[in-house]
Amino acid sequence: MKTAALLGPYHADRVLAWENGHPMTYGRFLSDVGALADLLPEKPTVINLADDRYRFLVGFAAALVRGQTTLLPPSRAPGALTQIAREYSNSYCLVDGTEHVERLPSYQIPTGTGNRTDTAKVPQIPIDHTALVAFTSGSTGNSHPHSKTWGSLVAVARSTGARLGLKTSDQVTVVATVPHHHMYGLEASMMLPLQHGMPFHVGRPLFPEDVRLALADVPSPRMLVTTPLHIRACVTARSRLPPVECILSATAPLSRSLAKQAETLFQTTVYEVYGFTEAGSVATRRTVAESAWHVLDGITLLQESVGCSLQAPYLLGPIPFPDLVSLQKPDRFLLHGRGEDLVNIGGHRGSLSDLSQKLNEIEGVQDGVFFLPDDTETSVTRLIAFVVAPGKAAEHILSALRTVIDPVFLPRPLHLVPHLPRNETGKLTRDALLGLMQDLQKEERHGI
Amino acid sequence: MSDVSPLEMEVAKLIIRTLTLKVDPAQIQPEEPLFGDGLGLDSIDALELSLAISQSYGHQIRSDDPDTVATFASLRSLCQSIEKHRTK
């Protein structure tokens, strides 16, 4: 049985996590993991809801040691959690607060309780073990599970580190604004430092001032794992960030001009990472210097008649790109945008047909559709919904939607209309919906 | 909307403009929650709103400030925080 170590080069006294200026070492981590692993119930799957990055990682690692699989729900919406709990009914939850999921037992993640030994053995995890299951929303209305082997997580962390030129001896501290409950956050803010014996900051700064304070809270050199949204906020606020070696951005395309501004203002190097749930991180680019994406070592690009896909030794088979791409060189590709049905709001990926289906399942809704207006330069573009629901108020439909979809996809606004502009075959074209939106805006301006 | 200060009206308009909400500023109740069940705002909105507030009033909002949860609790608390920290 082939295995890979839980962590990179092990030095008990090296820092793994910084919490309010307080260091937690790799040695303490291993004792926390060992202590929790002994306490975990005998169940195959666990939903880890811990908000604190260190506690989440202790829970994740303890589950690995016990041969269990961590489930990453697509969102915290009660409906999403209930669905996962129904499909994986023999699960339990790990929490660090008061969260719970209906029908599943919850366990707090204790830390600092293990017996500290300097001779701790680094756990070896089978590379074929399903370390986690991530979910994406599909067009059928249900979440699709995507299993990740331990081997694939380790391979992606190592190839990303190699691409960024990370060396264990550098001890770069990762500060992340992204949640660790999604693939990018988990890969870049946990697996990347863990597999290189480097530290991370436990928090999740949101506002530019938070980002500045979190970076100032850890020693140099530093790496900021973030999104175009947070980069724009820091640039707009002209934040005086402490020195940052590099900024890693993902979840949505970063414009070259914003990357340039960030590089100049923060005296740093900005890299983008491209990936998707099915494959994990796939490629990187230095946004100011190149348009093409350079695939991580080990990934092969395939041009097939229906589109492009990619293959890697740690993936079960070729995986088609969810976005429109064209191959440039054997290891480079260009990204041309998303498939028509896919949307990305603030880094959350969703399917318009899936969202529309959930809308149509709401009691009182006769017909309804989600729609993504054209992007604006200034702020995050939100979805719009057109709904036919005689006798129902928009608030009623919104509160029903709130229980079944990720709140980031809640429509802004939800328009109640007498009917939808379906064509003779019953289809709703983008042009017809754009026309409807413009008519409604005109009516509003005229105060009708 | 009764007993609303001029600043509260101004910030209500800023919120609606920044977040392209479809409500009348007079509909925002000063004591009602802005996030979650109230106006249903989320962390992306908080970020957008913090930028608009720093540009308009020079107040840099941060999460670890013990007052921040309270700051975004309602229009009234947000305005009290702006009043206290504004430089513009």
Chain B CB contacts of A233 below 8 Å: 47, 50-51
Please report the pLDDT score of residue A442 as a whole number: 80
Whole-angstrom Cα distance, residue A11 to residue A21? 20
Chain B CB contacts of A447 below 8 Å: none
pLDDT band at B1 (very low <50, low <70, confident <90, very high): very low
Spatial CA neighbour of B49 closest among A54, A154, A236: A236
Please report the pLDDT score of residue A372 as a whole number: 87
Strands A280-286 and A293-295 come out as antiparallel
Cβ separation A209–B60 shorter than 8 A: yes
Q: Which residue has the tokens 């702006």?
A: B82
More confident call, A150 vs A98: A150
Handedness of CA A235, A241, A245, A249 (dihedral sign): negative
- Place domain B6-85 in its CATH homologous superfamily: ACP-like (1.10.1200.10)
Average pLDDT over residues A85-96: 95
More confident call, A124 vs A421: A124
Whole-angstrom Cα distance, residue A426 to residue A162? 51
Q: Which of A205, A379, A412 sits opposite B21 (nearest CB)?
A: A412
Please report the pLDDT score of residue A338 as a whole number: 66
Chain A CB contacts of B55 below 8 Å: 236
State whether residue B47 sits within 8 Å of chain A by CB: yes
Chain A CB contacts of B60 below 8 Å: 207-209, 237
pLDDT (tens digit per residue) in B50-87: 888 888 998 888 876 655 666 777 888 889 888 888 88
Q: Which of A20, A178, A204, A209 to mutate to test the interface with B (most CBs of B within 10 A)?
A: A209
Q: Which of B43, B49, B85 to mutate to test the interface with A (most CBs of A within 10 A)?
A: B43
Looking at chain A, which residue has its C-alpha nearest residue B16? A412
More confident call, B39 vs A14: A14
State whether residue B18 sits within 8 Å of chain A by CB: yes
Amino acid at A71: L
Spatial CA neighbour of A338 closest among A375, A312, A369, A368: A375
Characterize A61-90 residue by residue with b for buried, 16 or more Cβ atoms within 10 angstroms of its Cβ, and e for exposed: bbbbbbebbbbbbbbebebbbbbbbeebee
Number of H helices, E strands in chain B: 4, 0
Asked whether A52 and A190 are in contact (CB, 8 A), the reply is: no
State whether residue B27 sits within 8 Å of chain A by CB: no
Whole-angstrom Cα distance, residue A231 to residue A9? 32
**What mean pLDDT, rounded, does chain A reach?**
89
Whole-angstrom Cα distance, residue A270 to residue A425? 48
Q: Which of B21, B37, B47 sits opposite A207 (nearest CB)?
A: B47
The token pair that represents A237 in the structure block: 């606020």
In sequence order, the β-bridge partners of residue A275 are: A281
CA geometry: angle at A392 spanning A391 and A397, to 5°?
A: 165
What is the DSSP-derived secondary structure letter of residue A387?
A: E
In sequence order, the β-bridge partners of residue A333 are: A293, A327
CB contacts < 8 A (A, B): 58
State whether residue B55 sits within 8 Å of chain A by CB: yes
Residue A75, CB half-sphere, CA atoms under 13 Å: how many? 21
Cβ separation A382–B20 shorter than 8 A: yes
Looking at chain A, which residue has its C-alpha nearest residue B56? A237
pLDDT (tens digit per residue) in A216-237: 999 999 999 999 888 988 998 8
Cβ separation A380–B50 shorter than 8 A: no
User: Would you kindly state where each structural domain of chain B is located, as residue ranges?
Assistant: 6-85
Please report the pLDDT score of residue A366 as a whole number: 84
Whole-angstrom Cα distance, residue A249 to residue A265? 16
Please report the ipTM that was assigned to this predicted complex.
0.78
Cβ separation B43–A206 shorter than 8 A: yes
Cβ separation A213–B18 shorter than 8 A: no
Distance from CA of A330 to the nearest CA of B (A): 37
Distance from CA of A334 to the nearest CA of B (A): 28
Distance from CA of B19 to the nearest CA of A (A): 8
Q: Is the pLDDT of residue A137 over 70?
A: no
Chain B CB contacts of A386 below 8 Å: none
Handedness of CA A409, A415, A416, A417 (dihedral sign): negative
Asked whether A335 and A293 are in contact (CB, 8 A), the reply is: yes
Whole-angstrom Cα distance, residue A165 to residue A359? 46
Q: Is the pLDDT of residue A140 over 90?
A: no
Sheet of strand A280-286, all strands in order from the earlier edge strand to the far edge:
A22-25, A15-19, A200-201, A173-176, A222-226, A246-249, A269-276, A280-286, A293-295, A332-338, A323-329
Chain B CB contacts of A208 below 8 Å: 50-51, 54, 60
Burial of A393 (0-12, 13-18, 19+ CB in 10 A): exposed
Give the H/E segment covering residue A335.
strand A332-338
Q: Which of A177, A210, A386, A402 to mutate to test the interface with B (most CBs of B within 10 A)?
A: A210
Strands A300-304 and A307-311 come out as antiparallel
Burial of A386 (0-12, 13-18, 19+ CB in 10 A): buried
